[in-house]
A and B are shown apart, each in its own frame.
Chain A
Amino acid sequence: MIADKFSSINFGRILIYSILIFFAFIYLAPLYVMFSTSLKDIEEIRSGNLLALPNDPTLYAWAKAWSSACTGSECKGLAPFFWNSVKIVFPAVIISTIIGAFNGYVLSKWKFKGSELFFGALLFGCFIPFQVILLPMAILLSKLGLSNTVSGLVLVHVIYGVAFTTLFFRNYYIGISTELVRAARLDGAGFFDIFRHIFLPISTPIFVVTIIWQFTQIWNDFLFGVVYSGAGTQPITVALNNLVNTSVGGKEYNVDMAAAIIAALPTLIVYVFAGKYFVRGLTAGAVKG
């Protein structure tokens, strides 16, 4: 035992730890650079370098990024677009999760002729490159009068998010005993009774996983945002991209970085507090979808 302990503190262990820590620094570096740049003034950015700590930290860049930076022709900062994203994300996440829960319940416990085919066909939707649906969707939205609206974006995110949410719930519910469902049916319990009394109480983990997955996906979306939003309804990713590419006067890298952190903050916070579930969602979506 002692010999074992002794030999474990050898050159190999030190090498492994050094490599792991080295990479930890590499992964953290961009976040550090973003933060420290966002706290510097433009003079210091020009004279110092990326890795230097801010001499005289200032929140100027944060204030400007939030409320007065130009994102194209308007100069209202990211704030309005942050709220656009909130308005898009909340309904889209809730609706797609609820639909996914019921779909998954049916596909695992109320199978009917063709339900497997349906599931296979839906799964395919997790993989298609969205470029292939962009044009017709644009036309459908304009026919529905939803072009450039928040509701239009919610609809698009629900439609293309349901494939994933269904997959998550189906794979979770399939592990629950079918006997239980059969027994409840013999007792006269109906479709919704069984869902409410048997499935819902044990579904908290999968709801958390699905909600976190959908939240990150939709908050981080750029493609649908840039194609289907208009001047006043852009989500934060589109606004951030516009902000970075708008240079009225000199380029203010500190404002760019503050804006980038603002855009990343909601998903980062979710990740820090619910990382376990986030990883579970990723691997569930990964291994199957």
Chain B
Amino acid sequence: MLNFLEKHLPKIVIAPTTLAMIVCMYGFILWTGLLSFTKSRMMPQWEYVGFEQYIRLFENPRWHVALDNLAVFLILFIAISLALGLLLAIFLDQKIRNEGVIRTIYLYPMAISFIVTGTAWKWILNPGLGIEKIFRDMGFLDFEFRWLVEQDMAIYTIVIAAVWQSSGFVMAMFLAGLRGVDDNLVKAAKIDGASTFRSYWHVILPIMRPVFFSAVVILTHIAIKSFDLVQALTGGGPGYSSDLPANFMYTFAFNRAQMGLGAASAMVMLFGVLAVLIPYLYSELRERET
């Protein structure tokens, strides 16, 4: 008996996690998937209705606003964070005095919750008392900056706050990548007569391709999950103009008792993540094999 225990101890240790994983991850995904094919509202109701919830979802204008917002948010958030992160990393890599202090300053927003970030930026962007007032006090009396309450612009405030929070992290990733680049490569490029700019562009950046790749995956992941930032900064408003899919899902599943529809939107989100993740994992695995 004791021998048996000893022999199977590793499996026994793993067992609780295995159980939790099978039930609470894969089981629950399956459950949500099944639910999305039923007409459940307040409570789960196992009556099969085919793709009805998905049809309702894609006929819902609010869902389209959320998807469009996600596209805008994803593109801008990722592009600006990458550009800014890379720029700051390259500058910080020039043997800067007090590099540690500056790096710490760039990165601290990452330690804060999106709710706090949202609360802070909601105040900074306050129409009337926020940035607008700074410029008016400086003498620009007609200056207007009220994106927070403008339907077409509210999503950009989310981009601003999210970039503020996450770009330092991208900087840290790039900096770690730059530090891993062999100094001799840069020196060789310089001996060949390349300028600093050109040696970065042609020699260093191509080596950093994997870092770019991971950064994009992580930023995509943050963007798709950005539920709390929207909730705190705009509340999805004005109206529902700055909703993201995650906010849509929450509203319909928990506030409007539309379980089936909420489940369908969650499944679409999952497939969105998988569409990014699978090529990434595939290329990672292939790289490791070669």
Contact = CB atoms under 8 A, between A and B. Distances in A.
B48 interface: no
B25 A124 contact: yes
B140 interface: no
Chain A CB within 10 Å — which of B18, B20, B164 has the most? B20
B77 interface: no
Interface in A26-57: 26-31, 33-34, 37, 45-46, 49-51
Interface string B172-184: 1100100000000
Contact of A122 (B21, B84, B172): B21
A125 B25 contact: yes
A121 B116 CA distance: 33
Interface of B is mostly: helix
A103 B18 CA distance: 10
B57 interface: no
Given A23-B88, A30-B120, A159 B20 contact: yes
A31 B13 CA distance: 44
A19 B270 CA distance: 40
Interface in A196-238: 216, 219-223, 226-227, 237
Interface of A is mostly: helix
Interface in B1-54: 6, 9-11, 13-14, 16-18, 20-21, 24-29, 31-32, 35, 44
B28 A137 contact: yes
Nearest to A289: B218
Chain B CB within 10 Å — which of A121, A135, A219, A237 has the most? A135
Interface stretch (A66-74, A145-153, A263-271): A263-271
Given A34-B120, A124-B25, A191 B266 contact: no
Nearest to B263: A135
Which 3 A-B residue pairs are closest in the complex by CB-CB distance?
A220-B113, A110-B10, A271-B111
Interface of B: 6, 9-11, 13-14, 16-18, 20-21, 24-29, 31-32, 35, 44, 84, 87-88, 91-92, 94, 96, 102, 104-117, 119-124, 126, 129-131, 133-134, 137, 164, 168-169, 172-173, 176, 214-215, 218, 221, 224-225, 227-228, 231-232, 235, 245-246, 249-250, 253-254, 259, 262-263, 265-267, 269-270, 272-273, 277
